[in-house]
Amino acid sequence: MRRGLSSRRELLKGAIGFPILAIVPEINTSIVPGARLPIEQTDTPRIQRAIDQADASGGGTVYLPAGRYISGTLRLRSRVTLWLGNGATLVMSGDSTEFLPPEKFAYDTKANFATSNFHVALIVGDGLEHVSIVGDGEIDCGYTRSGGPKPIALRRCSNVLVRDITIRNSPSYNISLLGCEFVTLDNVTIRNGLSDGIDPDCCRHVRISNCFVESYDDAIVLKASGALGERKATEYVTVENCILRTASVYFKCGTESCGDFRHIAISNCVFEGWHGDAAWKPWARLLHGGRRGAFEYRRLQYRNEPRWNAIYGAARQP
């Protein structure tokens, strides 16, 4: 093992109190960096093994240094951090069998497939606590049209941190959150999103800050859908210091919503029109479905936009 990497691990171990598990590209002259065992077609098994090993140790960090890693569904665990190092690219596998099968529900979710399904995704977490996805690396989904797995799908998770990563070419919601609480999304970059950027649904205590979101569909959408099988509100959400660049709606509360929206604040954001190949809709919707309470918005800037309309009320789903 290289001395520099070993020293860095020891330093980090002392800083965060957990062991560092590194996914190091194997050196093989006949295979490009990132090589895997002959029986493994992608990097999914070895990354998942490291996540499970960290979980078995009571928590830790799985570190991906510079290199390309092709992966299907990775299941996060509580108290585990997935760290994408500078120069690391986690590439979404093009093989559908690498992903979990779609979920079947015994109740009416009152929502579409993308909103309600949290299995068809690259990084999946369900019922977890203290989970993080961080680093200067990238997730590249490699899609050129919408319809496919989500990059990040977290349901009923608490104390969630997503920081500094870049997500590119996503065919579905880039960061999809359902029934989560105490969530921090900071300094996240989303480029060429082919669907929604960030979708907190039935979530509480969510902070979105310093993000750049570029999407053909809505940039940030707060929802209160029936995807959990019960009616829940989305509340205590702040969005600040973000650049939202979209061919659709910059910021919206609603869509497929039956629950309420309370204590929502958006400030110091720039809304930038992005033509792309999609329809250009120059407005922000502050409510579309559900009921609102305690909304605050201030210091918003608009670029390449002729006007801004705020829609305060619309039909609420039963």
Name residue 290's amino acid: G
Reply yes or no on whether the pLDDT at 24 is more than 60: no
| Lowest-pLDDT range of 116-120, 182-186, 268-272, 301-305 | 301-305
Predicted confidence at residue 252, as pLDDT, reads 85
Non-local CB neighbours of 128 within 8 Å, separated by 6+ positions: 76, 77, 78, 154, 156, 157, 158
pTM higher than the cut 0.85: no
pLDDT at 273: 77
142 vs 128: CA distance, rounded Å: 28
pLDDT, position 258: 83
Of 22-26, 102-106, 243-247, the poorest mean pLDDT is in 22-26
pLDDT, greater one: 241 or 115: 241
Q: Which of 50-64, 166-180, 250-264 has the weakest average pLDDT?
A: 250-264
Element housing 235 (H / E): strand 234-240
C-alpha 43/C-alpha 47 separation (Å) is 6
- Each residue of 56-94: b (16+ CB within 10 Å) or e? eeebbbbbbbebbbbbbbbbbbbbbbbbbbeebbbbbbe
Output the six-digit token pair for 229: 């099988």
Contact 23, 62 (CB under 8 A): yes
Are the C-beta atoms of residues 125 and 150 closer than 8 Å to each other?
Answer: no
Amino acid at 97: T
The answer on pLDDT for 218 being more than 60 is: yes
Residues 141-146 have a mean pLDDT of 90
> What is the residue whose two structure tokens read 């691990």?
9
Q: Around Cβ 34, how many Cβ atoms within 10 Å?
A: 20
- Selection from 19, 1, 2 nearest residue 10 by Cα: 19
Burial (CB count within 10 angstroms: exposed 0-12, middle 13-18, buried 19+), residue 172: buried
Q: What percent of the chain has pLDDT over 70?
A: 74
pLDDT for the residue 179? 97
Q: Identify the residue whose tokens are 């077609």.
A: 41
Residue 71 pLDDT = 95
